[in-house]
Amino acid sequence: MGGISIRVRGQVQGVGFRPFIWQLAQEMGLRGRVLNDPEGVLIEVAGARTEAFVAAISARAPKLARVDAVEVSPFSGALPDGFEIAPSRGRGAETRVTPDAATCPDCAAEIRQPGRRHAYPFTNCTQCGPRFSILHALPYDRAQTTMAPFLMCPDCRAEYDTPADRRFHAQPIACPACGPRLWYEAAGQAQPGDPIALAASCLRAGGTLAVKGLGGFHLACDASNPAALALLRARKRRPAKPFALMAREGDLPALALLTEADLALLRDPAAPVVLVPSRGALPEAVAPGMSSLGVMLPYTPLHHLLLDAIAGPLVMTSGNLSGEPQVIGNAEARAKLATFADGFVMHDRDIARRLDDSVERASPPMVLRRARGRVPGTLPLPPGFADAPQVLALGGQMKGAICLLKPGQALLGHHLGDLGDALCADEFTRAIADYTALFDHRPALVAVDAHPGYRATQAGHAMGLPVTEVWHHHAHLAACLAENGWPLKGGRVAGILLDGSGLGPDGTLWGGELLLGDYHGFDRRGGLTPAPLPGGDRAAREPWRNALMRLDQAGHADWADDLFPEAPRDVLRQAAARGINAPLSSSAGRLFDAVAAVLGICPTAQSHEGEAAMRLEALAGLSPNSGALGFAQTGPQIDPAPMWAEMRRQMSQGDPAAQIAWQFHAGLAAAFAGQARALVESGEAKAVVLSGGCFQNALLLGLTLRALQGVTVLIHRTTPANDGGLALGQAVIAAARHIAHAERD
């Protein structure tokens, strides 16, 4: 029987794929070879069971692998008598890079058993451990990672060279004899003794610990200790933003109400922070005003050892100064975190790039922050984009992230923070250079937001490449289309786009929109009645400002006077009347703030972005599910004015605030769903898209889906609905314009 050549594309390097193929060939009595090359994995094989062999490649692939395609063609060249793992061929970056992966069960057991890796905090194998966070360049070999300085000892080398070993070609392979080392610092000095035991003592004493993880430093404290929580909040000047938690799986049922979907996501190799309903067992200071907790399982051996020593949950929040990127270097940590931390858990393996923890929900699947464990995963481009050029898209101002289009795939980068911060802007610049070099990307054009004041937009125009400007909410719509594989010629959809704000073509700030569109363009078919944003950006930080404008607009100025007697109402009213620093906006996010302020939720100021809306959602979750506040439809506009009269009536008669909060969510969902359904039923739209940061509100998303039953609805599942997904939408819109232009020519 003649031989065959098998091309396997996808996430197939650095995941134990070649030893898997070697073992499969041994099992089926085949001869040939397997090797890595720039396109993925290449197999040249002959024997009686090649058909079964091909079928098993996808069906039995390693856990970390993502097989996009298995392509078979005849092969007539010479093959060895047995089956071998051959040296890599070529250079380049057409294949995918594996994200960092949580400690696998085998390695987690190994560090707890006698042996040479007992209690070793850098234990890993081909099924787990650092990948993207240590990678300098492709191909993914040890010499191209931050493990290069650590020369393998004979025992590790033997494992690395043995195809049947689970550490065959595990690039970060290490043991205490040859790998990175851990130590504990306090008062600027390394301390003698077991670093894990010293760290645990610090935590048990109520101290704050700086811990070097995979993508950067965390600040940790005992999550059950109110004094420790208060100390960390005071030191970090973070009065209310929820803290992420890390806990052993066995400790979680006492803290949160977990579904099987929650557990499956927690156990995923990406090990994200997962939002789950709280049991209220921990102090309020963990997540003030919230009904949910953000929890993750230990995802490195160091975390496992630390959690075992503490035997309880830990706060594990980003180690950074407020608004700045996460700290990754030892010297940087000493300089910036010394005022926060009583002790440091340090190691000498460098971190190649900053990666925050990903944040997700399990049901419905939802990515709130795409970062460690999820990047640099790629998405297949939808049908019709085969001729797309290489595009670099730069995203927006908040929740910065870039996107690269390469043949057949889109690579949405990791969360970079608010580009209004100078250090985050520096990270953004580094990320562009990093990704384009690492993935051998040569963009033909750059896609940016149409807002001229965004740093990302300015950076794009300075690159010297053709620039495609994309309207903010069109990018949201296209991002959701692309994630869902909507074909380039799939027809127009009704997009419900609800977020904070983005510049619209009419020069106002949009944020509560109904668009009819596709990748090529859009028409605005409806949206919230605009209201002034007095003070501009201050309106996003001080909810009472939005409430004042909305109440005045609805004829309830006297009620606003009663609700906010100490606020400078007259000054704001005069400024709004004169149009001084009071741009018009249809923002749904600011409407959430206004409702929250009227209900007494942080009316004066938000201590972190989205606090008022998050607390409003949590409050609504306490209510029986009944009724909806009314919105009026005046032509294409959805006017919230009628709901204020109903809110005023309910509050005057003492109805629960939770009930009103729930009814606001239901009313907003019903108003937009009704308009979108009409576009589908008229035949103008083929489906409905839900995008924008407001749809990370699980209650609003669920109510909108319920109101759209019977209609095809596309939502975000693997990319953020917020501005973290904008770059994907910009990239496919730019590609669509390029393809359309080429077809016209």
Q: Give a yes or no: residue 494 inside a domain.
A: no
Are 322 and 276 members of one domain? Answer: yes
Number of structural domains, the chain? 4
Q: What is the pLDDT of residue 2?
A: 75
Average pLDDT over residues 273-298: 97
Q: Please determine, for residue 38, whether its predicted confidence score (pLDDT) is greater than 90.
A: no
Spatial CA neighbour of 287 closest among 697, 665, 615: 615
Q: If you average pLDDT over residues 428-452, what whole number do you get? A: 94
What is the residue range of 295's domain?
Answer: 182-360
Where residue 408 falls (left for φ over 0; alpha for ψ -120 to 50; beta otherwise) is: left
pLDDT for position 87: 85
For residues 523-548, b (16+ Cβ closer than 10 Å) or e, as one string?
Answer: ebbbbbbbbbbbbeeebbbbbbbbbb
Domain of residue 347, CATH code: 3.90.870.10
Residue range 94-99: average pLDDT? 72
* SS3 state of residue 223: coil
Per-residue pLDDT for 629 more than 90?
yes
Give the model's pLDDT for residue 345: 98
pLDDT of residue 285: 97
pLDDT number for residue 158: 97
Q: Which of 360, 393, 420 is the last residue of a domain?
A: 360
Q: Does residue 188 form part of some domain?
A: yes
Q: Please indicate, yes or no, if residue 270 is contained in any of the structural domains.
A: yes
Question: Per the domain annotation, does 113 fall within a domain?
Answer: no
pLDDT at 88: 80
Q: For 329-375, how does the pLDDT look when each residue is reduced to its tens digit (9 = 90+)?
A: 999 999 999 999 999 999 999 999 999 999 999 998 999 999 999 99
DSSP of 322-371, one letter per residue?
TTSPPP-SHHHHHHHHTTT-SEEEEESSPPSS--PBPEEETTTTEEEE--
Q: What is the pLDDT of residue 135?
A: 93
- Given a cut of 60, whether residue 206 has pLDDT beyond it is yes
Q: Which residues of 315-325 are buried (b: 16+ CB within 10 A; e: fewer)?
A: bbbbbbeeebb
Is 139 within the bounds of a domain? no
Residue 703 has pLDDT above 60, yes or no: yes
Give the pLDDT band of residue 15 (cuts 50, 70, 90). Answer: confident
Residue 253 placed within a domain: yes
Instruction: Record the pTM.
Output: 0.94
Q: What is the pLDDT of residue 721?
A: 98
Closest CA to 173 of 185, 157, 189, 187: 157
Instruction: Say if residue 181's pLDDT is above 90.
Output: yes
- Residue 472: band (very low, low, confident or very high) from pLDDT cuts 50, 70, 90: very high
Domain of 427, CATH number, reads 3.30.420.360
Q: Phi and psi dihedrals of 581, rounded to 5?
A: 45, 45
Query: What Cα–Cα distance (Å) separates residue 669 from each residue in 629, 674, 707?
Result: 10, 8, 7
Of 297, 300, 301, the residue nearest 276 (C-alpha): 297
Question: Is pLDDT at 518 greater than 70 in this prediction?
Answer: yes
pLDDT of residue 94: 52
Q: Which of 85, 118, 153 is the last residue of a domain?
A: 85
Tell me: do 478 and 537 sit in the same domain: no
- What is the reported pLDDT for 1? 52
- What per-residue confidence (pLDDT) applies to 674? 97
Q: Are residues 350 and 457 in the same domain?
A: no
Domain assignment present for residue 700? The answer is: yes
User: Would you say residue 95 has pLDDT above 70?
Assistant: no
Cα four-point dihedral sign 426, 429, 433, 436 = positive
DSSP, residue by residue, 657-711: HHHHHHHHHHHHHHHHHHHHHHHHHTTS-S-EEEESGGGGSHHHHHHHHHHTTTS
Both structure tokens of 642: 């009628």
Helices (H), 128-243: 154-161, 195-204, 226-236
| Cα dihedral: 649, 655, 659, 660 (round 10) | 30
- Would the pLDDT of 322 be above 90? no
Among 31, 52, 85, the domain-final residue is: 85
701/729 same-domain check: no
Quick one: 434 and 338 in the same domain? no
23 with 67, same domain: the answer is yes
**Predicted local confidence at residue 92, as pLDDT:** 55
CATH number for the domain that contains residue 71: 3.30.70.100
Same domain, 734 and 638: no
Residue 556 tokens, joined: 């309830």
User: Could you tell me the end-to-end alpha-carbon distance of the chain, in angstroms, rounded to an integer?
Assistant: 49
Clarify whether residues 219 and 327 are in a common domain.
Answer: yes
Q: What is the pLDDT of residue 440?
A: 87
pLDDT digits (tens, 9 = 90+) for 662-691: 999 999 999 999 999 999 999 999 999 999
Q: Indicate which CATH number applies to the domain containing 654.
A: 3.30.420.40
Q: According to the model, what pLDDT value does residue 493 have? A: 98
What is the rounded average pLDDT of the residues 588-599?
98
* Residue 91 pLDDT class (50, 70, 90 cuts): low
Nearest C-alpha neighbor of 112 from the set 394, 295, 263, 305: 305
**Statement to judge: residues 692 and 545 lie in one domain:** yes
Residue 635: the pLDDT is 86
User: Would you give the DSSP letter of residue 613?
Assistant: H
Cβ atoms of residues 11 and 96 within 8 Å? yes
Distance from C-alpha of 277 to C-alpha of 292, rounded to nearest angstrom: 4
Q: Which residues are catalytic?
A: 18, 36
pLDDT digits (tens, 9 = 90+) for 475-516: 999 999 999 999 999 999 999 999 999 999 999 999 999 999
pLDDT tens per residue, range 238-267: 999 999 999 999 999 999 999 999 999 999
Cα Rg for the chain, rounded, in angstroms? Answer: 27
313 with 410, same domain: the answer is: no
pLDDT over 90 (residue 634): no
Look at the block and give the residue holding tokens 């806990």. 247
Handedness of CA 466, 472, 476, 477 (dihedral sign): negative
Say whether pLDDT at 630 is over 60.
Answer: yes
Q: What is the pLDDT of residue 439?
A: 87
Backbone φ and ψ of 585, nearest 5°: -150, 140
Residue 10 has pLDDT above 90, yes or no: no
What share of the chain has pLDDT > 90, as a percent?
A: 88
Task: Calculate what percentage of the chain has a pLDDT beyond 70.
Answer: 99
Do 270 and 346 lie in one domain? The reply is yes
Say what the pLDDT of residue 277 is: 96
Q: Is 147 a member of any domain?
A: no
Q: Are residues 699 and 733 in the same domain?
A: no
Query: What average pLDDT is seen over the chain?
Result: 95
Structure confidence at residue 715 as a pLDDT band (50, 70, 90): very high
